[in-house]
Structure 1
Amino acid sequence: MAIEMIKTGMLATIQDRGRFGYQKYGVNVNGAMDEGSARVANLLVGNPEDAAVLELTLSGAALRFTEDHLIAICGANMSPMMDQASLPMWQPIIVKKGSILTFASYVSGCRVYVAMAGGIRVPLVLGSSSTNMRGQLGGFNGRSLHSGDILEVGHVDEASRSARLWKKLQQSIGPTFNAKLFAMAPEEQVTIRFIPGPEYELLTADSKQKWLNGTWRIDAQSDRMGYRLHGEMLELEGSKEMISEGTVHGLIQLPANGQPIVLLSDRQTTGGYPRIAFVAAVDIPMFGQLKPGDAIRFVPVTIDEAEHLLLEYEQDMAMLKAAMMLKCSGA
């Protein structure tokens, strides 16, 4: 089975949950910017959570299906349509051979994830299907997708959850799935929870107030590597010589210009800027749905609170996974 990219929009890549264990060799982790939406899309078609999916950014993509497929669309609302008819999101959908799936401009969010039963089939590079565009490895020949590219879809074994789900949907058995619990609701200002970093206490008293009470906007000079924030300039007490250390997902650095940077999926492996904060893991996927100009504010939480929030999120994900397994088994 295969899918043809007719149009790719602003940016289209193949991503999974990332490439782990190689940062010490200078290899980026990569992976879906909104990991939660990618995981849910996979679960909705009976795939493993880390199967390769299509990540589309902002607008304009179109795909042609060469065979019947089972798909799910999660993440940003980009007005998905199949042969001029609107499609639902956050549930499995059967599409017919020759159908064309299109996305218009965004209604909300920034990135949409399309999962296909069987996953997108590309060679694993260092254990991952994710695209590393800077290193030109993984994904589809290590690059973003182009018009005319043909994507192979993995085989759906008759015994797999995908095949059983597909069969049941063809028989119109059971209710539709509601996974919108994982969608980011559109808001004028998004609240991001953070844990203070090692250099947080070096911020001046005035800068701490600016950080906590100010509105920060996503700068246009932002990408999958990191989001630059625009707001009032932050300053540290005195000067501090920093030794480069390994980076982590959601680390917030403060460069000399006083405008913070949030490190995301394609982040560099090491960094030497002061580390003023870490985004709570449960909120990191929100950045995948933020676009230049969007407003955010920051609220501090403790490590224990951040862990509790993540556990609650993973429990919800586990409940969805269990519900899908029951659905596929016919219970």
Structure 2
Amino acid sequence: MIELLRVPSLLTVQDEGRKGYRKLGVPVSGFMDDFSARIANYLVGNPGNAPLLEFLLAGPALRFKSSSVFAVVGEVDVKLNGVPIEPWRSYWAKRGDVLEVGALKRGLYGYIAFAGGIKCKPLLNSCSTYTKANLGRPLKAGDRLNLGYAILSGRDGKYVPMELRPDYSGEEITVGVILGPDLEHFTEEGVRTFLSEAYTVTPESDRMGYRLDGKEIEHSEKGAGIVTGPLVPGSVQVPANGKPIVMMKDAQTTGGYAKIGVVIGAHLSRLAQLRPGSRVRFSEVSVNKAREEFLKGERTLKAIKLFLEGKMRAYRIRAGKEERIAFAG
């Protein structure tokens, strides 16, 4: 069990989300940054979809009421009993120990995983918090959370090399997008604008959607409205003001604004980590390219998991001035 002592910002329990319920109007929810969250779970020996803590900008302080192995993921200062420790590494904590997680230096979301995961009563087969429908609630100081049973021996001391950690630096990123399905609602110039301009993430963004500001995307004579159609995380709606909105994990399941494209799944985690004021560009990719990017990410996560389990070794390879990580079984 853990007890929350300080909760300075949005803190929720999340897992991989509610799959299979969108037809009933229930959003997927789940990890905003699926890549980082799964690594956090792998660090403590959990399956990638185990429930953990997701925090926005600043992490909590908590006390362990029983021994556990934990890991904090994100570019953030972390202390255990007042002593600095490293993120992206698993540690053993005993009863009475206090963990303090500071503010993220880069990125928007961080994660804290515990061996065995967080115990909860699943709602529609998920522990993910979706506040708009009261499926769970934001956590607050004084809350106590039970941890799942896990054999702790050998789960601490695992680490993720710097080269394998997601890069949250930079004020501008480019994400792949598959155009459509409502292109007839946009002029050719509107589509060119969408694919050539940089758009800024606004403070009105949240887990439901990222509102962007920038050059207006021109609609055709059909206008911005459509017969209400399905939405998925990554869908890019363009309302009448011409400013795009990217649907995120808590997005509604249907919408009445024309969709100019869909951000590919492999790039959603990186997009989720953009802070207000950061910029994003959209680059058209094919369905085959989107699939390749997805499989590439899955292969990387599998290699990281096997590395943390001691079933694969990592080597640094230098090619000129560049250095990368390679794996061998």
* Cα displacement (A) at 1:188: 2.0
Partners of 2:230 and 2:240 in 1: CA distance: 19
Partners of 1:252 and 1:132 in 2: CA distance: 21
Q: Where do residues 141-220 of structure 1 align in structure 2 (5 Å cutoff)? A: 142-156=136-150, 158=151, 163-166=152-155, 169=156, 176-178=159-161, 181-200=164-183, 202-220=185-203
Query: Which letter maps to 1:132?
Result: Y
Partners of 2:163 and 2:83 in 1: CA distance: 21
Find the residue that maps to 2:26 and give its secondary structure. coil
1:32 maps to which residue?
Answer: 31
Query: Do structure 1's residue 221 and structure 2's residue 204 form an aligned pair?
Result: yes
Find the residue that maps to 1:71 and give its secondary structure. strand
Partners of 1:257 and 1:153 in 2: CA distance: 47
Identity, % of aligned positions = 35
Find runs of 4+ consecutive structure 1 residues off by over 4 angstroms.
none
Partners of 1:183 and 1:86 in 2: CA distance: 22
Q: Give the TM-score, by structure 2 length.
A: 0.89
Q: Where do residues 249-328 of structure 1 align in structure 2 (5 Å cutoff)? A: 249-326=233-310
* Cα displacement (A) at 1:326: 3.6
* Cα displacement (A) at 1:180: 5.1
* Cα displacement (A) at 1:323: 2.6
Partners of 1:193 and 1:213 in 2: CA distance: 13
Query: Which letter maps to 1:90?
Result: W
Given that residues 116 and 148 in structure 2 are in contact (C-alpha distance below 8 angstroms), is that contact kept between their aligned partners in structure 1? yes
Q: Where do residues 10-89 of structure 1 align in structure 2 (5 Å cutoff)? A: 10-59=9-58, 61-74=60-73, 76-89=74-87
Number of aligned residue pairs? 312
Find the residue that maps to 2:239 and give its secondary structure. coil
Unaligned runs of 5+ in 1: none
Unaligned runs of 5+ in 2: 313-328
Cα distance, 1:201–1:80 mapped onto 2, change above 3 Å: farther
Given that residues 29 and 130 in structure 2 are in contact (C-alpha distance below 8 angstroms), is that contact kept between their aligned partners in structure 1? yes
Q: Give the TM-score, by structure 1 length.
A: 0.88
Normalized per residue, which structure has more strand? 2
* Cα displacement (A) at 1:149: 0.3
Of stretches 80-89 and 255-264 in structure 1, the one that deviates more from structure 2 is 80-89
Given that residues 175 and 271 in structure 2 are in contact (C-alpha distance below 8 angstroms), is that contact kept between their aligned partners in structure 1? no
1:243 maps to which residue?
Answer: 227
Partners of 1:9 and 1:235 in 2: CA distance: 41
Of stretches 286-295 and 49-58 in structure 1, the one that deviates more from structure 2 is 286-295
1:135 to 116, 133, 142: 133
Find the residue that maps to 1:192 and give its secondary structure. strand
Find the residue that maps to 1:130 and give its secondary structure. coil
Given that residues 44 and 92 in structure 1 are in contact (C-alpha distance below 8 angstroms), is that contact kept between their aligned partners in structure 2? yes
Query: Which letter maps to 2:154?
Result: L
Query: Which letter maps to 2:85?
Result: L
Partners of 2:32 and 2:173 in 1: CA distance: 17
Query: Which letter maps to 1:69?
Result: S
Find the residue that maps to 1:79 and give its secondary structure. strand
After superposition, give the CA deviation of every residue in 1:110-139 in whole Å (9 maximum; x if it has no partner). 1110000000011111110101111112xx
Cα distance, 1:242–1:177 mapped onto 2, change above 3 Å: closer
Partners of 1:60 and 1:185 in 2: CA distance: 17
Given that residues 77 and 87 in structure 2 are in contact (C-alpha distance below 8 angstroms), is that contact kept between their aligned partners in structure 1? no
* Cα displacement (A) at 1:298: 1.4
Cα distance, 1:208–1:289 mapped onto 2, change above 3 Å: same
Partners of 1:114 and 1:122 in 2: CA distance: 16
Given that residues 168 and 273 in structure 2 are in contact (C-alpha distance below 8 angstroms), is that contact kept between their aligned partners in structure 1? no
Given that residues 251 and 263 in structure 1 are in contact (C-alpha distance below 8 angstroms), is that contact kept between their aligned partners in structure 2? yes
Query: Which letter maps to 1:65?
Result: F
Find the residue that maps to 2:262 and give its secondary structure. strand
Partners of 1:124 and 1:42 in 2: CA distance: 18
